[in-house]
Amino acid sequence: MSWEKLCAPKSCGGMGFKKLKEFNLALLAKQGWRLQQSYDSLVYKVLKAKYFPTNDFSQAVLGKSIMFAQPLVKNGLWWRLGNGDRIRIWGDKWLPKLSTFMVSSPRLFIPHDMKVGELINKEEASWKADAIDALFVPHEAEVLVQHVQRWTPPPTSCFKFNVDDAVFAELNFVGIGVIVRDWNGQFVAAMCK
């Protein structure tokens, strides 16, 4: 019997064995994701102090095994806009609804580390239209104006649950995440699986 057949689910006539390399990579990616998200955990604080004090997990140089998962985590990461102060316009994945999530407009004479926050009118919670039109090719400017959504709070004394998921077809793996916020937008709880 072939290894592929042994690894097939029992419902498909296989034995349900795990593909250990892919399973290990999925577990390492899950740890990498936790290092990217769980800033309050002791493991995060220790590893950050030792291996990546000036940046985050996606730019860290860590031990050999967890580094195998870093490209997988990096490939799946893209920024969700908040105030935009930490997101580089060119070089970070943040642009919604495009295949790469990255800006392809030419940079011209703008600094390479210019932040998205410089394009946001913070008082009105809107884009600076003149800057958007000047910096981006028309189809990217249109994507920004039409597709960026703001989080809206629930009614007073209620909570809002935001759910997101990811499918890793090559690993035969699915993930889901939930975040709960109160009517003021304050974090209450989160879960991922």
Chain segment 145-166, per-residue pLDDT in tens: 776 556 677 888 888 888 888 8
Q: Of 46, 76, 106, which one is at a domain's C-terminal end?
A: 76
Q: Same domain for 85 and 144?
A: yes
Q: Same domain for 144 and 108?
A: yes
Nearest by Cα to 89 from 151, 134, 34, 149: 134
Q: Same domain for 159 and 141?
A: no
Give every CB contact of residue 113 below 8 A, 6+ residues apart in sequence. Answer: 88
**Predicted local distance difference test score (pLDDT) of residue 37:** 76
Distance CA 181, CA 153 (A): 8
Q: Same domain for 66 and 85?
A: no
Q: Of 59, 76, 93, which one is at a domain's C-terminal end?
A: 76
Q: What is the CA radius of gyration of the chain?
A: 20
The answer to whether 159 and 188 have CB atoms below 8 angstroms apart is yes
Nearest by Cα to 69 from 15, 5, 26: 26
**Predicted local distance difference test score (pLDDT) of residue 105:** 84
**Predicted local distance difference test score (pLDDT) of residue 150:** 61
Report how many domains make up the chain. Answer: 3
Q: Same domain for 166 and 145?
A: no
Q: Same domain for 96 and 160?
A: no
Q: Same domain for 46 and 69?
A: yes
**Predicted local distance difference test score (pLDDT) of residue 149:** 59
Spans of the chain below 50 pLDDT: none
**Predicted local distance difference test score (pLDDT) of residue 17:** 84
Q: Same domain for 183 and 161?
A: yes
Distance CA 168, CA 161 (A): 23
Q: Could you read off the pLDDT of 39-68 as tens digits, one per residue?
A: 788 888 888 888 878 877 777 776 666 667
Give every CB contact of residue 54 below 8 A, 6+ residues apart in sequence. Answer: none
CA angle 6, 11, 12 (to 5 degrees): 55
Give every CB contact of residue 69 below 8 A, 6+ residues apart in sequence. Answer: 25, 28, 29, 31, 32
Say if residue 19 is exposed, middle or buried (CB neighbours under 10 Å; 0-12, 13-18, 19+): middle
Q: Same domain for 143 and 82?
A: yes
The answer to whether 95 and 102 have CB atoms below 8 angstroms apart is yes
Q: Same domain for 66 and 120?
A: no
Distance CA 132, CA 118 (A): 10
Q: Of 20, 48, 76, which one is at a domain's C-terminal end?
A: 76
Q: Same domain for 145 and 162?
A: no
Q: Which domain does 125 fall in, by range?
A: 78-150
Q: Same domain for 99 and 35?
A: no
